[in-house]
């Protein structure tokens, strides 16, 4: 059964082509990574899937709902997104529980008093993510990695089918990055369908079973994660002659 379907999706701005004829189908039970260099169009593609940007042409169907034929808010409840933009936009003194609760209103901050039901839901999400003890802590006092996890909490308030993580490890040191990546297995256990966006192959965890390769706004591959064995294709996508090796079920690369 299809959770997401993109058919010949293109996007252009001021005569510049950003995405060209993207075709992608995500089925229930699949976990995806989107891998490509900076400037390949990954974030634009994710914003289209999140219905924050509309394609210039093509068809987008999410959970059986075709964009342009349904109320966009009915579709957005199926999708959560975590990006650097949100992390930089929140006032530092916003309480952590309020950051999570703001997801119910799709707002940056809160402009009304929280109902007991919403407050309980936000606290429950923080508990699930191991962050309940930070509920009253100002967002700006958390570590960078903890802020990322709080934003995941904000993104899942409506129990979305798809959770987009757009370059979530940007700004994390090695230890914080590894802790964050391993925490993501909790989301898989919650039966979330993750689209993990990155330009680092070693961030593609073993539970990710499908991979899309994006370069210059075009899909170079979309299918089984076995493509991570293809040095020639990875080299072409990333623009460098790459070699690969494996350790603890993770793939790593080096420049030849």
Confidence of residue 108 (pLDDT cuts 50, 70, 90): low
Beta-bridge partner residues of 82: 165
Domain 1-78+161-168+192-256 maps to which CATH number in 3.30.2130.30, 1.20.1250.20, 3.40.50.720, 3.40.50.300? 3.40.50.300
Among 67, 32, 21, 13, residue whose Cα is nearest residue 207 = 32
The dihedral sign for the CA sequence 168, 170, 175, 178: positive
Summarize the confidence of residues 141-160 as an average pLDDT: 90
Mean per-residue pLDDT of the chain: 91
The total number of residues shown for the chain amounts to 256
Summarize the confidence of residues 49-77 as an average pLDDT: 90
SS3 195: strand
Give CA–CA dist 156/134, Å, rounded. Answer: 18
Least confident interval from 139-148, 185-194, 199-208: 185-194
- Token digits of residue 167: 């370059």
Which residues 6+ apart lie within 8 Å of 130 measured at CB? 149, 183
- In this prediction, residue 166 carries a pLDDT of 94
The residues spanned by each domain of the chain are: 1-78+161-168+192-256, 80-159
Give CA–CA dist 244/83, Å, rounded. Answer: 28
Give CA–CA dist 169/147, Å, rounded. Answer: 11
Least confident interval from 81-85, 126-130, 248-252: 81-85
């Amino acid at each position: 059964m299809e959770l997401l379907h993109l058919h010949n999706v293109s996007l252009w701005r001021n005569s510049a082509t950003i995405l060209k004829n993207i075709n992608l189908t995500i089925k229930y039970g699949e976990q995806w990574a989107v891998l490509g260099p900076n400037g390949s169009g990954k974030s634009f593609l994710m914003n289209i899937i999140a219905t924050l940007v509309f394609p210039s042409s093509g068809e987008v169907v999410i959970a059986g709902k075709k964009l342009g034929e349904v109320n966009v808010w009915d579709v957005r409840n199926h999708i959560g997104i975590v990006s650097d933009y949100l992390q930089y936009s929140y006032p530092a003194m916003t309480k952590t529980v309020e950051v999570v609760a703001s997801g119910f209103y799709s707002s940056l901050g809160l402009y009304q008093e929280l109902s007991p039901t919403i407050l309980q839901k936000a606290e429950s999400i923080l508990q699930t993510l191991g962050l309940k003890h930070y509920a009253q802590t100002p967002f700006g006092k958390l570590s960078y990695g903890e802020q990322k996890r709080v934003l995941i909490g904000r993104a899942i308030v409506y129990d979305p089918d798809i959770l987009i993580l757009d370059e979530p490890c940007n700004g994390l040191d090695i230890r914080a990055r590894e802790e964050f990546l391993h925490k993501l297995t909790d989301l898989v256990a919650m039966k979330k369908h993750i689209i993990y966006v990155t330009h680092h192959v070693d961030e593609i965890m073993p539970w990710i079973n499908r991979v899309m390769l994006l370069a210059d706004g075009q899909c170079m591959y979309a299918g089984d994660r076995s493509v991570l064995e293809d040095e020639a294709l990875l080299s072409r996508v990333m623009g460098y002659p790459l070699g690969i090796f494996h350790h603890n079920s993770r793939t790593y690369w080096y420049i030849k």
